[in-house]
Amino acid sequence: MINNIPIDYYIWLSATLFTIGVMGVLYRRNAIIIFMCIELMLNAVNLLMVAFSSYLNDASGQVFVFFIMAVAAAEVAVGLAILVLMYRNTKTIDINVLNRLKW
């Protein structure tokens, strides 16, 4: 059933999702939203991997997806912790306020 959908569709969907993620990272100033956009990019890639895995009858793509999900979960834990600390210190999560990382 799922094989009836051509691979092109998946590619377009993933590319769209990924571009939305990139744009979100670039345009938004809210750190949590940037974070979510990064997740969006990761999942766009995951989707593409699963699609190719099924298309090529090769399970290793799906294995990679599991790895990525596990790593992403860990990354979220660390990232959110950083955000919490950031909020506690600056009372904001606007990334433009964090401009002291220079010279």
Partner 1 sequence: MVGIDFLVSFVPLFPLLGFIFIALNTRRFTEGFTSFVACGSVLASFIVSVVLFIHLAGLTADERSIHITLFNWISAGNFSASISFLIDPLSSLMLLIITGVGFLIHVYSIGYMHDDDGYNRFFSYLNLFVFFMLMLVMGANYLVMFIGWEGVGLCSYLLIGFWFKNQDYNDAANKAFIMNRIGDLGMLLGIILIFMNFGSIEYLQVFPQTSSIDTSIITLITVLLFIGAMGKSAQIPLYTWLPDAMAGPTPVSALIHAATMVTAGVYMVARNNLLYSLAPVAMELIVIVGLATALFAATIALTQNDIKKVLAYSTVSQLGLMFVALGLGSFTGGIFHMATHAFFKALLFLGAGSVIHALHHEQDIRNMGGLKKYLPVTYLTFLIGVLAISGLPPFAGFFSKDEILAAAFASNKIVWAVALLASMLTAFYMFRLFFLTFLGTTRASQNTLDHVHESPQSITLPLIVLAVLSAIGGFMGIPEALGGSHWLGDFLAPVFAQSKGHVEAHALTHSTEYMLMGGVVVLTLIIIVYAYSRYVSKNHVPVEEGQITSPLQRTLYNKYYVDEIYDSIVVKPLYWLSQQFYSVVEKSGIDRLVNSSGRGLESGSKFARLIQTGRVGYYIFVMVVGIALLLGYASLT
Cα-based distances in Å from 63 to 7, 51, 67, 77: 19, 13, 7, 22
Closest by Cα among 32, 25, 24 to 92:
32
Q: Cβ of residue 85: shortest distance to partner 1, in angstroms?
A: 15
The reply on whether position 89 binds partner 1 by CB under 8 A is: no
Candidates 42-50, 53-61, 71-79, 94-102; binding stretch for partner 1 (CB under 8 A): 94-102
Does 78 participate in binding partner 1 (rule CB under 8 A)? no
For residue 49, the minimal CB distance to partner 1 (Å) is: 17
